[in-house]
Structure 1
């Protein structure tokens, strides 16, 4: 059983979480506008045979980009003292965290889905990305872990969590029950996700600025509409705007009395702040 299969099968958590620091250059092989709000980038990772997967299906890494049009991406190097640094005096590259939508270790190819939005460092790159562009990346880390004995999964995310939803559902054991709510900007952002699981997905087309309300997300309202959970032990995974994710967590914990140790709520971004 692979680490990812263990993460999804409710096996005991094991000590594969020791993070191995490493850095890679990757060349853009393909760029596709998957839906109006999602740009899919396929990267060929140089030295990708060294890449150490986290074992979590929601794993993310940091995508490093050129500091400006004339400066190439540079990486830290492993120095004689065993630490990573930049003895050549090169500057850190701007970088942002992104979920690995798919990783093919044999081909060293990685798929990353990036939400297209104005003003974002990586989103701006993705919207203008072309084949041959070089980026930097590091070994991934992740959080998703089905507690042992879980009989069902609930995922509640905005569009920034959709790549994690897609990968988790693709890797679900056959027949495993999952109830999924995803907040997207429009119905055109729905995705077809292949899964062997027993999955129901509800799409909520209300993400982003709206004249009738403040803010970008209605995730807490969506969570509040969930008034009962399936029978037996489960796992709830929440990803989206940080305050919204926390509000969703408290709904399940305080209103529905769900075990807080079986909830992961991850702030992928913060309203009014750049995602760094």
Structure 2
């Protein structure tokens, strides 16, 4: 018999997973439900919980990912043709032995979109996700989840593009009944609906991308309430940078109260080395 001690459990672990179901969510997203006995140990430390999804480089190929503390270094050392495609996503929901992940479909522009456009039940992937056995989660630790409005925030502004929809959905669902918030989301097509049930003090603005309208213009039109606030911004890196600059430079919001994350960069994949963020 082997005993797992606290010190042996890391915040994240690799989980083998099988596709159980696939369904469209609006015009641009597809929801993939993953299952497997090991997924009972997947947890979430917040509504915008990030995970890694490892996909086969060729359809039907076996997904092999190094494990252990030095897994990433060994993963990067693999020849490109042997290295599984790694992309970052948000847990849309997690149940006993099942995890839902929403993928944005934009044709064959990238390996993840290609995979999501043709995936069928039975295909296998690897998820790198929070491990519920990590003792820190029981003490309130948060790893890979960053939505954290200060206690004194009397209003919130939540904004992003379609890649932020899963996180925004989780955040909106967690808002208290007395929340005051503006939620703005930019989507590619009219068929991308936002059907959230929100408290009375929450307004939701959906902007359909058409070359003239965008979420930045919509944010500029928002009248922010008085008092200390909090902003959560996610999506394409350039968009998120411009949103943050507007809130900090033009609106005077304390930069420490603005969380921002570039989920993707136009014209670049997640494999491209990151550049320093500009203020």
| 8 Å CA contact retained: 1:103, 1:110 | yes
**For 1:159 and 1:52, how far apart are their aligned partners in 2?**
24
CA-atom RMSD in angstroms: 2.3
Aligned match of 1:29: 20
Tell me which residue corresponds to 1:66.
Answer: 56
Q: Deviations over 1:50-69 (max 9, x none)?
A: 3353x221111111011223
CA distance in 2, matches of 1:230, 1:177: 9
**Count of aligned residue pairs for this structure pair:** 243
The CA distance in 2 between the partners of 1:254 and 1:76, in whole Å, is 44
Match of 1:171 in 2: 174
Q: 2:65 maps to which residue? A: 75
Corresponding residue of 1:152: 155
TM-score w.r.t. the length of structure 1 is: 0.80
Using the TM superposition, give the Cα deviation of residue 76 of structure 1 relative to its aligned residue in structure 2, in angstroms. 1.8
Deviation at 1:246, TM superposition (A): 0.9
Gaps (5+ residues) in structure 1?
1-17
Aligned-residue offset at 1:178: 1.9
In 2: Cα distance, 1:139 partner to 1:146 partner: 23
- Paired with 2:201 and 2:31, the residues of 1 have a C-alpha distance of 26
CA drift of 1:48 comes to 2.0
- Name the SS of the counterpart of 2:64 in structure 1: coil
Q: Which residue of 1 aligns with 2:106?
A: 117
- Pick one of 214, 220, 227 that aligns with 2:216: 220
CA contact (8 A) 1:235 1:263 kept: yes
Aligned to 1:3: none
CA distance in 1, matches of 2:199, 2:225: 19
2:29 matches 1:38:
yes
Tell me what 1:258 maps to: 253
1:71-220 paired onto structure 2 within 5 Å: 71-78=61-68, 83-84=70-71, 91-104=82-95, 107-118=96-107, 119-140=109-130, 141-196=144-199, 198-206=201-209, 210=211, 218-220=214-216
- 1:26-67 superposed Cα distances (whole Å, 9 cap, x missing partner): 1111100111111111111441233353x2211111110112
Residues 69, 191 of structure 1: alpha-carbon distance in 2 compared, 3 angstrom cutoff? same
What is the match of residue 6 of structure 1?
A: none
2:275 aligned residue: none
Counterparts of 2:201 and 2:189, CA distance in 1: 25
> What secondary structure, in the 3-state scheme, does the structure 2 residue paired with 1:169 have?
helix
Task: Quote how far apart the aligned CAs of 1:197 are.
Answer: 6.7
Q: CA deviation at 1:219?
A: 3.4
**Alpha carbons 1:35, 1:188 under 8 Å: kept:** yes
Q: Deviations over 1:206-227 (max 9, x none)?
A: 16xx4xx7xxx8333333333x
Q: Is the contact made by 1:57 and 1:164 (CA closer than 8 Å) also made in structure 2?
A: yes
Q: 1:184: Cα distance to partner?
A: 0.9
Q: Matches of 1:69 and 1:114 in 2, distance apart? A: 17
Cα distance in 2 for partners of 1:94, 1:51 equals 21
